[in-house]
């Protein structure tokens, strides 16, 4: 009689799959550089024979089968392979103990790191913070929720088939949805999006309405972007109170502090993108806002620049600073000096970045809905002029094919970066410390 079932360590009975035994033996052979696939197959057949003889009238346990594997390896003259297999068993036993200590029943054979991340962020818990679902149940919950939406577009959609297809993609780790989907699909919050841009208009009511919405989004695992360019500059008049405005950067600090509070109780720390137009009167304060390494620690910041501004930088001209409340010019500054300050602080601290307003709006697929003013914290770094390398953007996924680095594409990226740097140095747009750092 052939063995058709095996009892797992948790007591459940599942189909007996000889291929798993063969794979484990093959790994032990490979570790000791003995034999190959054929030897692994022959040894597996011997294991199956003994298991069938000893458990003709019962169901073997996993440990029973593993003991027989060790016995076969020793009796067939492969003590070193048996030792490697014993170590393999011990390592897996250690992993199981760690997973048990974490409090997760791993029904997908994931790594310790994966289990820890799932336990901290994604697996549902009860009110006492005890995990109440397994990784497989998590994937099933997400797949079921995503598939159910299809009926809104096609009442006759094969919901069960779509659910299973999505589940299999996740179980094989071929595709994984974003954090809010894993956290919230089929859960009370139900918020599946990760990326938001919130408007901020020049009034206390609008500002704090956006602050409230930001907190709700961060609670559900999303990230937020803002353009603070509509806020009146520091020192400007506030007619309702006869006082003076504190400026965009002061309100950014409020958003930053609120984000810091939210991340204490959320599953995922909040993230923000703050943007200010290059022609805003407070642009200098904005550019240096993160120079101390502490201020606005929950923000990435970027200066919004136009084609006109970049042309002024190239030609060494001045650019006007416009009060957004009145639409009038209040001052003019050297575009090149501002650009050099942006570059220096980007080199020194990583902020600010640049967002090219005219370019993104030229590629706006929904111009009838309005102009782009901001992005959320996620994104890619455009590689310009991208036509010369045919990549579109600096994205690591473009540089990898079948798990291997595409060195031809990588060389194109490096060559283009060097060419760009040559042009920047020639135009004297880079501060000397940055050039020295890049050269090193």
Catalytic residues: 376, 378, 380
Two tokens at 28? 């032990």
* Separation between Cα atoms, residue 254 and residue 266, nearest integer Å: 18
Residue with tokens 């599946």: 192
Residues constituting the chain: 440
Omega before 385 within 30 of 0, i.e. cis: yes
Omega before 352 within 30 of 0, i.e. cis: yes
Q: How far is CA 261 from CA 250, 269, 296, in A?
A: 17, 10, 13
Residues β-bridged to residue 394: 381
The contacts of residue 132 (CB under 8 Å, 6+ apart) are: 123, 124, 125, 126
* Separation between Cα atoms, residue 438 and residue 253, nearest integer Å: 32
Q: Of the candidates 322, 309, 301, 308, which has an alpha carbon nearest to the alpha carbon of residue 375?
A: 301
Helices in 123-247 by DSSP H: which ranges?
A: 135-148, 159-171, 179-184, 204-219
Q: Of the candidates 393, 391, 397, 395, which has an alpha carbon nearest to the alpha carbon of residue 409?
A: 391
Q: How far is CA 406 from CA 54, 80, 264, 383, 412, in A?
A: 53, 39, 41, 17, 10
* CB 252 within 8 Å of CB 299: yes
The DSSP element (H or E) to which 223 belongs, if any, is strand 223-227
Strands of 272-277's sheet in order across = 195-198, 223-227, 272-277, 299-305, 353-356
Rounded to the nearest 5°, which phi and psi values hold at 90? -65, -40
* Separation between Cα atoms, residue 315 and residue 439, nearest integer Å: 27
Q: How far is CA 172 from CA 92, 125, 147, 178, in A?
A: 20, 24, 18, 16
* Separation between Cα atoms, residue 25 and residue 6, nearest integer Å: 18
Two tokens at 282? 């407070």
* Separation between Cα atoms, residue 102 and residue 423, nearest integer Å: 54
């Amino acid at each position: 009689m052939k063995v058709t079932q095996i009892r797992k360590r948790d007591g459940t009975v599942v189909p007996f799959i000889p291929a798993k035994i063969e794979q484990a033996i093959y790994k032990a052979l490979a570790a000791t550089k003995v034999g190959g696939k054929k030897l692994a197959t022959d040894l597996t057949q011997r294991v199956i024979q003994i298991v069938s003889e000893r458990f003709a009238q019962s169901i073997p346990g996993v440990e029973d089968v593993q003991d027989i594997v060790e016995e076969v390896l020793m009796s067939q003259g492969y003590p070193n392979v048996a030792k490697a297999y014993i170590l393999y068993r011990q390592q897996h036993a250690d992993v199981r103990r760690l997973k048990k200590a974490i409090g997760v029943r791993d029904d997908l054979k994931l790594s310790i790191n994966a289990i820890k991340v799932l336990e901290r962020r994604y697996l549902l818990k009860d009110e006492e913070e005890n995990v109440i679902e397994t990784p497989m149940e998590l994937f099933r919950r997400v797949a079921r929720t995503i598939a159910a939406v299809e009926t809104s577009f096609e009442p006759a959609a094969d919901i069960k088939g779509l659910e299973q297809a999505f589940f299999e993609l996740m179980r094989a780790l071929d595709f994984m949805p974003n954090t809010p989907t894993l956290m919230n699909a089929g859960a009370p919050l139900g918020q599946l999006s990760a990326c938001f841009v919130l408007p901020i208009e020049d009034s206390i009511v609008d500002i704090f309405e956006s602050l409230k919405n930001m907190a709700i989004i961060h609670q559900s695992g999303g990230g937020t972007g803002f353009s603070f360019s509509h806020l009146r500059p520091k020192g400007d008049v506030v007619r309702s109170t006869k006082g003076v405005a504190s400026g965009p950067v002061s309100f950014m600090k409020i958003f930053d502090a609120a984000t810091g509070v939210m991340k204490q109780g959320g599953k995922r720390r909040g993230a923000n993108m703050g943007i200010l137009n290059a022609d805003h009167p407070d642009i200098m304060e904005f550019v240096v806002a993160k120079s101390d390494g502490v201020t606005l620690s929950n923000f990435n910041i970027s200066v919004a620049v136009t084609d006109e501004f970049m042309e002024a930088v190239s030609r060494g001209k001045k650019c006007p600073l416009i009060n957004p409340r009145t639409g009038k010019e209040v001052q003019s500054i050297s575009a090149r000096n501002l650009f050099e300050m942006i570059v220096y602080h980007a080199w020194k601290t990583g902020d600010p970045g640049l967002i090219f307003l005219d370019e993104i709006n030229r590629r706006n697929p929904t111009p009838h809905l309005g102009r782009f003013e901001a992005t959320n914290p996620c994104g890619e770094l455009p590689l310009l002029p991208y036509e010369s390398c045919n990549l579109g953007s600096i994205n690591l996924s473009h540089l990898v094919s079948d798990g291997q680095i595409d060195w031809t594409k990588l060389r194109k990226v490096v060559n283009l970066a060097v060419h760009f740097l040559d042009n920047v140095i020639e135009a004297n747009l880079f501060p000397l410390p940055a050039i020295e750092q890049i050269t090193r």
